[in-house]
Structure 1
Amino acid sequence: MISFGITDFGLFLMAVLLLNATPGPDTAYIVGRSVAQGRRAGLLSALGITAGCCIHATLSAFGLTALLATSATAFMAVKLAGGAYLVYLGIRMLLSKKAAASEQQPQLDLRSHKTIFVQALITNVLNPKVILFFLSFFPQFVRHDSPHKIAAFLLLGAVFSVVTLCWNSGTAMLAGTLTRHASNNPQIKHWLERTVGAAFIALGIKLALTKN
């Protein structure tokens, strides 16, 4: 780590864990998918979130995240798009409740796998909290005089992605397991899904109204 100019790596890991432990759009999406479609869907969501983190890490390494954050118009557009997307997902969950309430968790095909993965990726990429974390936090752990800044950012991004994948996979497994015991009761499953859909909408509105 030192050869790349990375400093205070332990503190970096702690910050990553705290970010993942803070409930947000990514966590809501993973829990929502796990509740609605089971652990496999939750794990696919975790993979999609991780892919989004890899994109953030790459953009951060080459300075593109900084350009986005310094443009008020661009940052506002990302924030509104992220909020609108969460509201859209929440409404879809609410509208599908009555039709799905009496059914078991649906079997996922290849097309469903792709949809879950892509939606999770978009949720992460359009999350301003993650953008700001990469922009404001990562530079604090890379020496200004490091000759390998891009490599250092990419390495930190890889560590961030691995920790995020482990944390989110655990979240998906826990949510999916808890819901599995309730899936035999259509009424309980119905209200669980409705609660998650409402949470998506609330998160989307909160994200869109958050000040820059």
Structure 2
Amino acid sequence: MLDAHQYGAFLLAALVLAVLPGPGLLYVLARSLGGGRRDGVQSSFGTLVGGMFHVFASAAGLSTLILASSLAFSLVKYAGAAYLIYLGVRTLLSKERLSLDVNGGPRPNHAFRQGVITELLNPKTALFFLAFVPQFVNPEAGGVFWQFVLLGTTSVVLNTLADLLVAAFAGPLGSRLRLNARFQRGQRVASGGAMIALGTYAAVDR
């Protein structure tokens, strides 16, 4: 398995990458502003589950098969971009005020499920694990599969912690905005526009 020096070097590199704004973090920010802290937290854990799928898929070689085919890569890429744009358009077209349940919290709005799907359909996550993680794997130490899983899981957890920080700070702002009808319209435009822009960027970025 990995020695402490190798893992420490990976941890430092992964930490730096986790705090840099990326598609996952921007998605959580948009959801937090649109639905408050609860949506942000649910989206964060959703992207965690989706990210862990890529970890095990990459470790098993599944992602290699996807990335080896330009058609498969393009299909996954554009499906993910289209899904983000769909979420943004639906947010823009929504005119309903957020309802509260009997416990005073927002009704479930499938933020967790959307987070999972968004991350699952992000081929850049698979590409990241295949390009970055193997640099820290030591084949001579054996257990390459589990080395990959350990490093990938570390990266996903760090990304999720960054997402949760974004949700913690952006969520309360979104909650206050929802109390004002004018700001509700503004936040729908901002959140929907952000997701549409993110989906468009994912579609055209090479």
Q: CA 1:11 to 1:156, structure 2 compared with 1: closer, same or farther past 3 Å?
A: same
Which runs of structure 2 are paired with 1:1-212 in the superposition (5 Å)?
3-4=1-2, 8-96=6-94, 99-100=95-96, 103-104=97-98, 106=100, 107-109=105-107, 112=108, 115-211=110-206
TM-score where L is the length of structure 1: 0.86
Q: Give the TM-score normalised by the residue count of structure 2.
A: 0.88
Task: Specify every segment of 5 or more residues in structure 1 that has no aligned partner in the other structure, as ranges.
Answer: none
Distance in structure 1 (CA, Å) of the matches to 2:125 and 2:4: 20
Question: Is the contact made by 1:31 and 1:171 (CA closer than 8 Å) also made in structure 2?
Answer: yes
The code of the aligned residue for 1:202 comes to: A
Aligned residue pairs total 202
The CA distance in 1 between the partners of 2:3 and 2:12, in whole Å, is 19
| Helix, strand or coil at the partner of 2:185 | helix
Task: Quote the offset at 1:67 in angstroms.
Answer: 1.6
* Structure 1 stretch displaced more, 66-75 or 9-18: 9-18
Contact 1:49 1:123 (C-alpha < 8 Å) held by counterparts:
yes
Matched to 2:155, the amino acid is F
AA partner of residue 165 (structure 1): T
Alpha carbons of structure 1 residues 130 and 166: separation in structure 2 relative to 1, 3 Å:
same
- Structure 2: which 5+ runs fail to align? none
Tell me how far apart the structure 2 counterparts of residues 147 and 6 of structure 1 sit (CA, whole Å): 15
Helix, strand or coil for the counterpart of 1:137?
helix
Whether the 8 Å CA contact 1:36–1:193 is kept in 2: the answer is yes
Whole-Å separation in 2 of the counterparts to 1:129 and 1:10? 24
Q: 1:173 to 1:135 in 2, by over 3 A?
A: same
Identity of aligned residues (%): 38
Residue identity opposite 1:133 in structure 2: F
Once the two structures are superposed, what CA deviation does each residue of 1:108-163 show, in whole Å capped at 9, x if it has no partner? 44xx36x2211101111111221111010010010132311011011112212221
Flag the 1:5–1:15 CA change in 2: closer, same or farther, 3 A. same
CA RMSD of aligned residues (A): 2.0
Q: Is the 8 A contact 2:31 2:191 kept in 1?
A: no
Q: Distance in 2 between matches of 1:32 and 1:174?
A: 12
